[in-house]
Chains A and B, each alone.
Chain A
Amino acid sequence: MISAITTNLPVFIIIAPLFVAFVLPTWAQRKRLVENLVISVEILMLLGTCYLASIVLLQKGIPIIYQMGGWSAPWGIELKVGSLGTFFLLTVAIVSLPVALFARGNLTHEVGGKERVARFYVLYLLLIGALGGMALTNDLFNVYVLVEVATLSCCGLVSARNHPRAAKATFTYLILATLGSCLVMGGIGFIYIVTGHLNMGFASQELGRIWQNNPRVVWMAFSFMLVGFGVKSALFPLHVWLPDAHSVAPSPASAILSGLAVKGYLICLLKVLYNVFGFYLMRVYSVHKIMVLVGMVAIISGSISALTQEDLKRRLAFSTVAQVGYIFLGFGLLNTKGLTGTLFYLASHAVIKSTLFLSAGAMLNATGKKNIKDLSGIGRKMPITTAAFTISSLGLIGIPLFSGFVGKWQLLMGSMETGSILPVSVIISGSVLCAAYLFPVIRIAYFGTAPEKDCKDPNLPQKLALIFLSAAIVFLGVIPGSFLELANRAAAELLVLR
């Protein structure tokens, strides 16, 4: 019995959220039961992921391969539990548990009645299942299916609030995300035409042998993948849907969308670029230079746009655009330190941005306003929420002892190794700009005149969620230990010449 569970753990982690998502609509009237089910499946997922991560750490780089239905690789579908997969799975589990906890205390206020809450949780669990699948899958077509599941549930989450602006944002997002899906599908099609394989390992081997026969098709596949995943992960010129979508969604949804959903597409892109094309082909086609360039533009322009926003949630959403730029820049550095830093930064940004969105959501709900200047003096009325906001802001800027610092430092070291001064200066000025758009919020919250309205810290589950996430930020910053080790190993595995 126990051995059956442990050997099938990779598949259980993906299907457990999906199973619960399937049965939730029939229990929509029993709100407590729904919430308890969601929380317990998240806890089980966290435990299972910790178990997998410990096994992967102990095995020293030999991935666990799970074959669906017992069919071996070129024919069947594989799940590959390697360092990269467990790293992202851990991130998903750590972020999604507190967000579900926060939603427990807050959803009826932001979303509406029991039916709507149950629907929200269905979409939430589908998104979590799809993200878990993205972390583990080793099959290109599976990537497409999971990307599509995640996209549609994101659209549902954006429109969860019953508001005309939400409908408009969802429509824009749906159109652009569908365009992205088409491009991803096209890219996968081109890879399949050239190699005849959908399994990432086999496609990569085949591509390394015969890419010279049709170099143009490989080039098309590269560009389709970059633009397709670029639209979905809000890379700078293609980010137009993100500020609207992430600012009108209810705050747990914005947290999960900005923190995790965007990262899922980035992990898929990382897998396609490094595990299928390989970094040798990236060099041949100069894809890494494009990524570094676009990443730098995204950092600067995203930060400057964030500076000009008055609406707090829109400011945080534009900040996500800038942070996606850091991750793209890191993906293009092509060295172990840079990639380690990027992966760690990706995870720490997932934790930090969800804390920021949750605490911002709690503040805005308490005051009933949405602009930054309306938050004056709220730090005295809502100490825990404002403390969580401050800790996560410090983390995002990259102050030592907070998790953002570890990733940014490695990223900086990696970009120094390339020998060019431009990425280094852009990363540093990005941090300065980040401080410029987050510190005013903290200053107003702590030193502004106190509001007359009586607003208090949110209820217990929400407070617990904020404390858990803030503790995670500090913990990852002070003792990154085995988490950084996983990221380091994942980066080393991605950069193996094949």
Chain B
Amino acid sequence: MKDFILKRMASIILPFICIYGFYVIFHGHVSPGGSFAGGIIVGLSFIAFSTIYGIEKGRKKLPEKVLVWTESYGTLWYGIMGMVGIVKGAPFLANKLAGVDLGIPGALNSGGLISFIGFGVGIRVASTMVTLFFTMMEEE
């Protein structure tokens, strides 16, 4: 595409969209949205990048290997966070029982392990959206 204005605008806006996605992911436990919605926004920033700058550049930004690894280990990360409870002698997925500091209610660090779990889910959702997009574009 030879659209100068679109490309310039995208290069300014897309980084902020990506960061906003991570903002939504990390604030999942105190504000609307969460890891799934945030992950979609992060994925969307990459999808928009590859529609505007061409699929080749998009693939270069996120090679297939990176996508596979984030998908696999993002999900595994959830499980590992659940294991923290077991290591500390509490049940699976325990949060306060595992001795994690829950902080002041409403503050960013008040979720204990939840924001860490959310990070894993978020990058997994983002990479899944991008993979789906690439797969659909390939089929045409």
A interface residues (Cβ-Cβ under 8 A, vs B): 4, 8, 11, 15, 18-19, 22-26, 66-70
* Contact code string B70-104 (vs A, CB < 8 Å = 1, else 0): 01110110010010011101111111010000000
A23 in contact with B76 (CB, 8 Å): yes
CB distance from B17 to the nearest CB of A (A): 28
B68 in contact with A22 (CB, 8 Å): no
Q: 8 extra interchain contacts, Cβ-Cβ under 8 A, other than A22-B79, A25-B68?
A: A4-B86, A4-B89, A26-B68, A26-B69, A66-B92, A69-B95, A70-B90, A70-B94
CB distance from B78 to the nearest CB of A (A): 9
A-B contact pairs, 15 of them (CB 8 A): A8-B91, A11-B91, A15-B82, A19-B79, A22-B75, A26-B72, A66-B91, A68-B91, A68-B92, A68-B93, A69-B85, A69-B92, A69-B93, A69-B94, A70-B90
CB distance from B110 to the nearest CB of A (A): 17
Closest to B77 in A: A22
CB distance from A77 to the nearest CB of B (A): 9
Q: Which residues of B contact A69 (CB under 8 A)?
A: 85, 91-95, 97
B97 in contact with A70 (CB, 8 Å): yes
Q: Which residues of B contact A70 (CB under 8 A)?
A: 85, 90-91, 94, 97
Interface of A is mostly: helix
Roughly how many angstroms separate A8 CA and B93 CA in the complex, as a whole number?
11
Q: Knowing A69-B93, A70-B97 are in contact, say whether A15-B79 is a contact too (CB < 8 A).
A: yes
Contact of B76 among A19, A66, A67, A68 (CB under 8 A): A19
Closest to B65 in A: A26
Q: Which residues of A contact B95 (CB under 8 A)?
A: 69
Roughly how many angstroms separate A387 CA and B87 CA in the complex, as a whole number?
48
Most interface-central of B85, B87, B89, B91 (chain A CB within 10 A): B91
Q: Knowing A22-B79, A70-B97 are in contact, say whether A11-B92 is a contact too (CB < 8 A).
A: yes
Roughly how many angstroms separate A4 CA and B83 CA in the complex, as a whole number?
11
Q: Which residues of B contact A8 (CB under 8 A)?
A: 86, 91-92
Roughly how many angstroms separate A70 CA and B86 CA in the complex, as a whole number?
11
Closest to B87 in A: A4
B72 in contact with A25 (CB, 8 Å): yes
Roughly how many angstroms separate A94 CA and B82 CA in the complex, as a whole number?
28
* Contact code string B45-82 (vs A, CB < 8 Å = 1, else 0): 00000000000000000000000110111011001001
Closest to B67 in A: A25
CB distance from A387 to the nearest CB of B (A): 41
Roughly how many angstroms separate A8 CA and B83 CA in the complex, as a whole number?
10
CB distance from A125 to the nearest CB of B (A): 12
Nearest 3 A/B pairs, CB to CB: A69-B93, A70-B97, A11-B92
CB distance from B87 to the nearest CB of A (A): 8
Roughly how many angstroms separate A4 CA and B88 CA in the complex, as a whole number?
9
Roughly how many angstroms separate A22 CA and B90 CA in the complex, as a whole number?
24
B72 in contact with A23 (CB, 8 Å): yes
Roughly how many angstroms separate A219 CA and B140 CA in the complex, as a whole number?
48
Closest to B80 in A: A19
CB distance from B49 to the nearest CB of A (A): 24
Q: Which residues of B contact A66 (CB under 8 A)?
A: 91-92
A26 in contact with B97 (CB, 8 Å): no
Roughly how many angstroms separate A67 CA and B85 CA in the complex, as a whole number?
12
Q: Which residues of B contact A68 (CB under 8 A)?
A: 91-93
Roughly how many angstroms separate A15 CA and B80 CA in the complex, as a whole number?
11
Q: Which residues of B contact A4 (CB under 8 A)?
A: 86-87, 89
B92 in contact with A18 (CB, 8 Å): no
Roughly how many angstroms separate A59 CA and B72 CA in the complex, as a whole number?
39
Roughly how many angstroms separate A18 CA and B92 CA in the complex, as a whole number?
14
A23 in contact with B97 (CB, 8 Å): no
CB distance from A4 to the nearest CB of B (A): 6
Closest to A19 in B: B79
CB distance from B102 to the nearest CB of A (A): 13
Closest to B113 in A: A69
Most interface-central of A18, A66, A69 (chain B CB within 10 A): A69
A25 in contact with B71 (CB, 8 Å): yes
